[in-house]
Structures are given as structure tokens and as C-alpha cells.
Structure 1
Amino acid sequence: MESQRGLLFIALLVVSFLLFQQWQVDNAPQQPVETETATTSPTQSGDDDFIPQASEQAPATQTSEEKGGIVTLSSDVLELKVDTRGGDIVAAKLLEFETEQGSGQAMPILTSDGYTYVAQSGLIGAQGDATRNGRAIYAADKTEYQISGDELVVDLTYQNNDINYVKRFTLVRGKYDVAVEYIVDNNSAANASVQLYGQLKQDTYIEDDGSMFMPTYRGAAYSTSESRYEKLPFDDIEDTNLNIKTKAGWVGMLQHYFVSAWVPNPSTTNDIYTQYLGAKGQAVIGFKQPSVIVTPGNSETLTATFYVGPKDQDSLAEIANGLDLTVEYGILWFISQPLFWLLIKIQGLVVNWGLAIICITIVVKTIMYPLTKTQYSSMAKMRKIQPKMTALKERYGDDRQKMSQAMMELYKKEKVNPAGGCLPLLVQMPIFLALYWVFIESVELRHAPFALWITDLSSQDPYYVLPLLMGASMFLMQKLQPNMATDPMQQKMMQWMPVFFTVFFLWFPSGLVLYWLVSNVITIIQMLIIFRSIEKADEKANAKSAKK
């Protein structure tokens, strides 16, 4: 290989291509689905609701035209809008997160205003609160509930045929997981069969804020006892209905930095299913717990957990096995996770996330110094024989075959390995990519300020100062390195490489550009130290030779 910089250039071109491919797969805007004529199936209740099929279904006791009201549940971090028709969560806002930095508007996740993204739950079965033709209309004491202590407990009630139903929501201060309980009190003379389900329904044509350089995923995901985490794009839901039976598990909908998920009772064996509602262009993913028999005069409580909030890895890991994997670091997760852990620890000491990035860069470059020394020592040897290589170029001109043979003989004579610096470069590339995913996936960096004009390390530099400085640092590094390319076209590509990279980095998160800039500055310092030490060693060797 003629140039280690050529390897770097090719590697990042491949990385850019792979990122573009992933963006095309996961985040290309979905086209709105044309409305089609569809008949209501046994598992669908009108156009507004999808109810999973149960083994036993009661005759219709009400009509789907009945409408409920909206009840607002608020904690210190979460605001939920619950429709008393079915007790569905039709809107959710994260009070600690802004839509745009400085906007003062809470981040909406679930919504039914303009497009549909809701969390539904209910009871199916012979005595369930949902039938083929309608949903239960629950009653509430108030229309607004505000947390005052450590938790907020809100009961919605419904009665049908001597059976009392209580749908209970419990919000805890500082937490984004909501306990959802169904208390079924059977006052009838016969057994009551009920089955709890929970599902998420979302329009599939919603555009995400991803780009080629910041690919993000909007779609479904689920977990089973055999697979801790599986993504399920909307296209796959449209093609095939999922139907899996598993112990525990969970279902969710993902977007950049945030997730909503239903987590059924982990002690039960549950059915995970999907459905595509073609007439609405909506995807549904949900779970069903096993049927429960409530004997006359007794009551049973069916439970599940609903989470809507940021992709906080520690919190998600406590709620369900594999739920933390929604913070997706890709195939390099085993590198990204310890780097993220180290970044969190450093930030806890220095407070500022920008300083934390600088510190983690210093730590990584210090650990990688032995490999860096090997890489640039090889470069120094190549630079040392540069005059001889120039002479070979003048001697053989455009005869590439003879030129290559002469260069190989020169390498052998001078004991120089032209690929000696490639291995350190290949080792450093995965670390860069792992940090890349840490910076674009970690919600902790969202709207995190650094200094001066850098107010959000998760978005691009608004004035492009960091990318330009990064490009300048690459140009300086290029000047310090020997140019091994013999092909004029390759030489021009190497000369333009800092420009190419600067253009790439214009759209990268400023936190990542900051890392790359600091890394380049440290590398330049290390290069100067390494080259100077080699020069001193050569001077001493020449002095000893002169004395002899």
C-alpha cells in the first residue's frame, strides 16, 4: 500500500457509504399510504381502534360511536392525556425536554393531533372491557391530576353486568415508567374471563429528523426470551403480521433519543403481535397476556408497565431485560458501552459535556499512544527514504512496473515496511466509529452546551467553526507526513482529502467534530515528539558512526 492516508480516505469513504445505506434502509421518509377500501376484521373495531383477537369474545354491549373525555395526569417529568374511552394514552409530553433548545415547549412523544401515535390497552375475553363494536367508557373523579407527593395514583372506573373494572395509573416522581393495573371485581354468579393487552399505534409516514450523516431510526422493536432486541421497521409490519409467544418480553416504538414501550408482567407467557391498518397507514405492535379467570365474589389484578421517555440506559435496564438496547450502538456496541460509561464518569467530575469529550479524547489518545508511536515511526522511516524514492521516480518516469520493483527493493534494503502504520490506523477507526454512535445515540448529549456558540453538542456547529478548524488540523497533519503516492491522481486526492473531510464534518454533531479536532491536535503534538525523538536517535547514531 502506497499511502496510509489513502487507507484512511478509503476507510472513511466506506464508512460514509455504509451510513448512507443504513439511512436509506431505516430513515428514508415513508410515502403516505393511499387510502384503500377495507372491511372490518374480527380483530378490528372500526377505523379508530385496533383490538387484538381473543380466544373468547363477548357479544357487543355498546356502540363505537360513544365518546369519552380527556383526563390529564401530570408528574414532575411527565404529562399524559388519557381518553376515558378505553383509557388509552393519546398524548404524552416530557416536561424536562424541549422540542427545540430554548423554545420552552415540552417535548411531545405520543399525540393524536395531526398524526397518530398512541398507547392503547384494555381487556379482551368474554368479560373484557373491549368488544367487537366498542370500547368501555371509563369514569374519572376529575379531569386533571397533579402529583403532590412521591407518586400519583389515578383510578378510572367502569361497570358492566355486575363486574366492576378499575384501570389504575401510577406515576412516580422523577420517573418515566407508568404502572398500569386492571382490577377486575366479579360480583356476578359466573366466572369472568379477561385477558390484558397493550399496544402502540403509529402513522407510518411520519418523517424523522435523520440525515445521511446522522442516521436515526423510527419504527418498532420488540424483545423475546430468545432475542433480547429486534428492530421491526414499518415496512416489515406492512408485509407480515408478527405472532410470537414468549416468556416476559416487551414491545416498543423508537425514535431518535426517545422510546415508548409496553412491558407485560415478566412472570407470564405473552403473545407479541403486529398489525398493519392499511386504510389508515398505521402500524400496530402489542402484547397479550394469558387469560385470567375471575371467580364469582373475587377480584384479580392484571398488571403491565408503560414507559415513555428518553433512552436512559440505566433506567431502561431496570424496567425490562434488553430495553436498554434501544440505545443502539450497532456492531461496535462492546466498544461504545465502555466509552459511554467512561464519558458519564468524566462528565460527573467536570460537569461540562464538552470538557468531558476533550478529557475522553485525551484518555483514548494516551491509551493508543504505543500504536500511534508505531504508526508514525513507520512514517518517519518512510520520510527518511523520501529522497531516494524521488530519485527512483525521476529514473523510471512513467514505467510503473519497474518503479514498483525498485521501490520494493528499496524497502527491503532499508528495512522499511510501507504498511507498518496500517494496523494502528485500523485499530483506531473502530474507536472513532464507536464514539460516533455514542455521540448521536446518547440522549444525555441532546441540547448539552459546551461554550460560546456551541450550545448543543448533538447538533452541527451553526457557524462551522469546528469543522473548519478540524480541516486545518488535517491539512497540518498532512504536511507533517511524507507523501508516498506515486500516481498523480492519487496525489491530488490526498491533497484534497482535508477539504473532503471538512465538507463531511459540516453536518456531523459538534461533539463528534470536537473529539476529532482535539484528537488531531493531540496527534500533531505526538507526531512532533515522535519525529523529534527519532531525529535525536539518528543524530546520536551518526555521531557514533563518525567517531568510529
Structure 2
Amino acid sequence: MESQRNLLIIGLLFVSFLIYQQWQKDYGPQPVVTTATNTVTATGTTANGDVPASASSHDDSDLTQATAAGQLITVTTDVLKLKISAQGGDVVSAELLAYPIEEDSTEPFVLLEENPNFTYVAQSGLIGRDGPDASANGRPVYQVTSNSFELADGSDELVVALNYQDQNGNVFTKNFTLTRGSYDVNVDFQVSNKSDSDLSLQLYSQLKQTDKEHSSSMVMPVYRGGAYSSESTRYSKYSVKDIKKSNLNETTTGGWVAMMQHYFVTAWLPNEGDTNQLYSNSGNGFVFMGYKAPLQTIAPNDTATLTSSLWVGPKLQKQMAESAKHLDLTVDYGWLWFIAQPLYKLLTFFHSIVGNWGVAIILITFTVKGLLYPLTKAQYTSMAKMRLLQPKMAALREKYGDDRQKMSQGMMELYKKEKVNPLGGCFPILLQMPIFIALYWSLMESVELRHAPFFGWITDLSVQDPFYILPILMGVSMFFIQKMSPTTVADPMQAKIMQFMPVIFTVFFLWFPAGLVLYWLMSNVVTLIQQTIIYRNLEKKGLHKR
């Protein structure tokens, strides 16, 4: 019965962990951040807020190819389809061509969008005294040579140049550089000072999203909101509630700001060598996460390039780590990331060999259970020794009756005499729990499992089994584990509860992603194999009697 009880402990700890995670997200204490008051620049714009979006009225005769303010520029590579607004040069739409919105769909997943119901865009520009985005006339309207750009076959790079000339003749070129197979987009500003005085400019980049709370479930408690990284903070979430409560205001070398959701993330990545100001803000139904680069002074007849980078795509850990320091931590493994990351790497290693994520899950299950076999053996051996003491324990109860103090003293003397650790059956389980939780998050957060088939009816490991076959098999495996486990005298009510545990777990797992259920099922199968081996050895030593 101890084995069934231990399974119950694991289940309760696991469910409690999920409930705690969801409670922390909704009601837990929020990080204390210095409130940043909105500062007004010399041009009258609010530096921490949304840049004015009204169209400029440009009648300059030099702008012979002026682009209409509402015009969109389409940029397509092998993995991205972006739409860039001619006004301001903001990315107002991002389609991930390699990630369909649904399984077997030809329609790509839309990460950035701008429509009447929801806005999620990536903005960037130049503010400061001479910044075109800080003009009282509104943001600049860029001119382009074409409304559509596409990465050519045989080419690995696509550069889209947006040009603007202010009333003083200063030339601003906003370059978008996209690379084949990459979700990291370089967004640079080339400034040419044609005036007789210094230009004072400051690059800003921010993510703008509709102020909207997103629901989550206990089974899939995924996070959607802001995040940032700085010198003092490797990675920290900054939710919509945090943004509305207190503005982020942190000065750091490098760093980044992001808005993330399950499987996907958008992040602005400043120059790592610059001292940048990370900020957040809210207002008019929107929330913002952004950064401002250092103020730049450009002498007359001189040029300068202000650089930034935009990650817009799936949470691909290796590529994100190469793009910016700690950006891969947006694959949110929680506080057990130091265990989950090696497990993920092991999972991807197995996939590189077998080419099937379901088989990779099976292999990592065998690996983890194999590494934990000494703990499992110690657990069952300790349980067997405790079982042999049951007659002596019953004698102590009969001897001392309701005298709990003497009963406790007698039990401790018995444990010491027989060299038995009463916690020996539970301690291995407690050691295994962090590994199990870390593996749970590894499977939960891996975008590679999204729409990944296993075989037969399992065509997507990231969603529930459509026919509930895996949860039922998991329940059957739990039933056999119960049958194999030795029984002892127990309370009848407790025995009935234990008998229903496979049913309870089966119902609970009906809504779990198929990949997680597959892991639990295979874990139970390995447990059955290990039980058989351990009990046969114990029977030879006379420690196990059914």
C-alpha cells in the first residue's frame, strides 16, 4: 500500500505545484520597481509613452516618391512575412510561415497584428531634439522603391530601405535586414546630417499591445505578458498588471525587452555595448515595453548608424541565445530552469537521432528513470524493511495503547535497533519531484512539440489525445502498478480511495497534452519493469512477501 500512497503523494504534489504556479501569476506579490515619471522632451513628446501617430503634412518638393501614410510594405522571406507601415516604419504584422495557426492548415500563425479588436506591433524610431519621430507634425512618412520585397532564390539576405528627408535636408534611412531561416531582424537607422548644426537624436524601440488579460488553465498555466533582462536581472517577467501598476525604469548595459506568449516571443534587442534605458508604460488602452538607447550627437556633414534588432518568432533556444544574452530564458522553465534546460538539450539530442519527438520523449523517459533507478531501488527496499516491522509495530500499539509519547519512543528504538529509516520510502520521491516538474516544463514549453506527430492518431503532441487512448493506457498502467505492489493492513476507506486513484488520474490526464501523457505512461511502464526486477531480488533475500 505504501507504493500506492507514494503515487498519491506525487499526484498531490504535482497538482499543488500547478495550482501554486497559477495563483502566483494571478495573485502573487509583484516585483518592486522604481516608478518612472513620464519625462517631456524638448519637442513636447512623452518619452515613455506612445509616439504621436498622426500623419505629417509633407509638401517638400524633394520627396518625389512620397509614400502614402497608410501604405503597407510587405516583406517576405522563407520563414517570415512582415508588413511595415510607411508611417513610422513600424512592423504592424508578422506571419510565421513555418508555423501554421492550426494543424493541417495552410494559414500561418500571426504573431504581430493591428486590427480594431487587438493591436500588437513593434515600433521604433528616433526621438530627441532633432528626431523625426518627435516632430510636432507627427511621425515621418517613409518612401520606398516598392511596396513588396521578397527574398530571392539563392540569396541569403534581404535588405529593405525606407527613406525620409526632413525639412532641413537631413536624410534618414531605416534599414530592415532579414536573413534566410532567421527570425532575428536587424533594424538600423542611417542618419546623414546635411544641416549646419549638430543633430541630437535618440533611438527608441518598443512593443505596443492592447491592454487585455489573457486566460490560462491549471493544466496549461502558460504566461502571456512582458519580460526584460538587464545587468542585475538575467530574466524577469513583467506582466500587464505590473506595467499598469508601476512603470519599469532601469538603466543597464545591453539588456532587452520582450512580450511573450506560449511558444512565441517578440523582443527588441539593443546594442549590447550601449547603456540603455528599459521602460514600460500604459495608457489609452495599451501597454508598452521598450528601451531608449543613449543620446547621439551627429556633427554637420557627418553620418552615423544607430543599430537595433528585433526577434519576432518562435522560442527557439539555440538561435535566441545567439541573438542576445539570456533571451533563451523566455522559454519559461520557472525556477527549475537549471534542470529543465539540460533535459531539453537531451530531448533535442534524441530527436536528432530518431527524428520523431514522441520517440525522443520515450527515450528521455527511459534515460531519466534509469538514472533514478538507485533511488527507486532504495525506496522499495526501505518499504520492504518497514513492512517486515509491521508485526512488531502492532505489538507496540497493543503494549502502549493511546500513550503516544511512549509509542513514539518505542518506535524510534525499534527503528534504531533494526537499522531502518522511516523516511527511506519518501525521501527518494522528494528527490525525484524537481526532475519530474522540470521535465514537465521542458515538454510544456518546447515549441518543437507544437503540431509534432508521434504515430497513428497522435498527430500533435502539444494537444490532448483526440481519442483519449493515451490517458486510458496511463490509467491501466497505474492499475497494474497497484496490483504489483504489496499490500498491508490499511484503513478500509483509504484502501477504497487508493483503488480509485487510477480512475482519478485518468480523468485528470484527459486534457493534458499528448506528449506529457506519453511521458507519464512510459514512466509507469518503466516503473512496472523496475518493480518486477526489484521485487524478484527482494524475494530472493526474503524481504518481500506478497
TM-score w.r.t. length of structure 1 = 0.87
1:144 aligns to what?
A: 148
Structure 2 residue 428 is the aligned partner of structure 1 residue 429: no
The DSSP-based 3-state class of the residue aligned with 2:384 is helix
How far residue 88 of structure 1 moved from its aligned partner, in angstroms, is 0.4
Indicate if the aligned counterparts of 2:451 and 2:461 stay in contact, CA closer than 8 A.
yes
1:412–1:248 Cα change, 3 Å = closer
Structure 2 residue 111 is the aligned partner of structure 1 residue 109: yes
2:205 aligns to what?
A: 198
Indicate if the aligned counterparts of 1:223 and 1:230 stay in contact, CA closer than 8 A.
yes
C-alpha distance in structure 2 between counterparts of 1:516 and 1:6, whole Å: 17
How far residue 503 of structure 1 moved from its aligned partner, in angstroms, is 2.2
Indicate if the aligned counterparts of 1:123 and 1:129 stay in contact, CA closer than 8 A.
yes
Gapped runs of 5+ residues in structure 1? 29-39, 540-548
C-alpha distance in structure 1 between counterparts of 2:5 and 2:501, whole Å: 9
How far residue 482 of structure 1 moved from its aligned partner, in angstroms, is 3.0
C-alpha distance in structure 1 between counterparts of 2:363 and 2:289, whole Å: 42
Gapped runs of 5+ residues in structure 2? 28-37, 59-67
C-alpha distance in structure 1 between counterparts of 2:379 and 2:303, whole Å: 71
How far residue 465 of structure 1 moved from its aligned partner, in angstroms, is 1.2
1:184 aligns to what?
A: 191
1:398–1:353 Cα change, 3 Å = farther
Question: What is the CA RMSD across the aligned residues, in angstroms?
Answer: 3.2
What amino acid is aligned across from residue 215 of structure 1 in structure 2?
A: P
Indicate if the aligned counterparts of 1:5 and 1:494 stay in contact, CA closer than 8 A.
yes
The DSSP-based 3-state class of the residue aligned with 1:289 is strand
2:524 aligns to what?
A: 520
Q: Which of the numbers 76, 92, 95 marks the counterpart of 1:93?
A: 95
Structure 2 residue 380 is the aligned partner of structure 1 residue 373: no
1:246 aligns to what?
A: 252
How far residue 379 of structure 1 moved from its aligned partner, in angstroms, is 2.7
How far residue 92 of structure 1 moved from its aligned partner, in angstroms, is 0.3
1:78 aligns to what?
A: 80
Q: Which of the numbers 153, 174, 181 marks the counterpart of 2:181?
A: 174
Q: Which of the numbers 195, 206, 212 marks the counterpart of 2:218?
A: 212
The share of aligned pairs that are identical, in percent, is 50
C-alpha distance in structure 1 between counterparts of 2:352 and 2:403, whole Å: 57
C-alpha distance in structure 1 between counterparts of 2:263 and 2:315, whole Å: 6
112-121 vs 198-207, which moves further? 198-207
C-alpha distance in structure 2 between counterparts of 1:389 and 1:3, whole Å: 18
Indicate if the aligned counterparts of 2:397 and 2:407 stay in contact, CA closer than 8 A.
no
How far residue 418 of structure 1 moved from its aligned partner, in angstroms, is 3.9
How far residue 426 of structure 1 moved from its aligned partner, in angstroms, is 1.4
1:135 aligns to what?
A: 139
Indicate if the aligned counterparts of 1:219 and 1:253 stay in contact, CA closer than 8 A.
yes
2:61 aligns to what?
A: none
344-353 vs 501-510, which moves further? 501-510
1:304–1:70 Cα change, 3 Å = same
What amino acid is aligned across from residue 271 of structure 1 in structure 2?
A: Q
Structure 2 residue 126 is the aligned partner of structure 1 residue 123: yes
Indicate if the aligned counterparts of 1:379 and 1:481 stay in contact, CA closer than 8 A.
no
The DSSP-based 3-state class of the residue aligned with 1:497 is helix
What amino acid is aligned across from residue 87 of structure 2 in structure 1?
A: R
C-alpha distance in structure 1 between counterparts of 2:3 and 2:75, whole Å: 59
1:153 aligns to what?
A: 159
Q: Which of the numbers 520, 524, 529 marks the counterpart of 2:533?
A: 529
What amino acid is aligned across from residue 338 of structure 1 in structure 2?
A: P
How far residue 337 of structure 1 moved from its aligned partner, in angstroms, is 1.1
Indicate if the aligned counterparts of 2:3 and 2:482 stay in contact, CA closer than 8 A.
no
2:334 aligns to what?
A: 330
Q: Which of the numbers 259, 266, 284 marks the counterpart of 1:260?
A: 266
What amino acid is aligned across from residue 142 of structure 1 in structure 2?
A: S
How far residue 50 of structure 1 moved from its aligned partner, in angstroms, is 7.5
How far residue 479 of structure 1 moved from its aligned partner, in angstroms, is 2.0
1:422–1:25 Cα change, 3 Å = closer
Indicate if the aligned counterparts of 1:27 and 1:215 stay in contact, CA closer than 8 A.
no
How far residue 77 of structure 1 moved from its aligned partner, in angstroms, is 0.2
How far residue 393 of structure 1 moved from its aligned partner, in angstroms, is 11
1:32 aligns to what?
A: none
State how 1:11-30 maps to structure 2 within 5 Å.
11-26=10-25
1:522–1:159 Cα change, 3 Å = same
How far residue 409 of structure 1 moved from its aligned partner, in angstroms, is 7.5
Indicate if the aligned counterparts of 2:474 and 2:521 stay in contact, CA closer than 8 A.
yes
1:69–1:51 Cα change, 3 Å = farther
What amino acid is aligned across from residue 380 of structure 2 in structure 1?
A: Y
Residue deviations 1:190-222, cap 9 Å, x none?
1111111000011121535x3211111100011
Q: Which of the numbers 451, 474, 478 marks the counterpart of 1:474?
A: 478
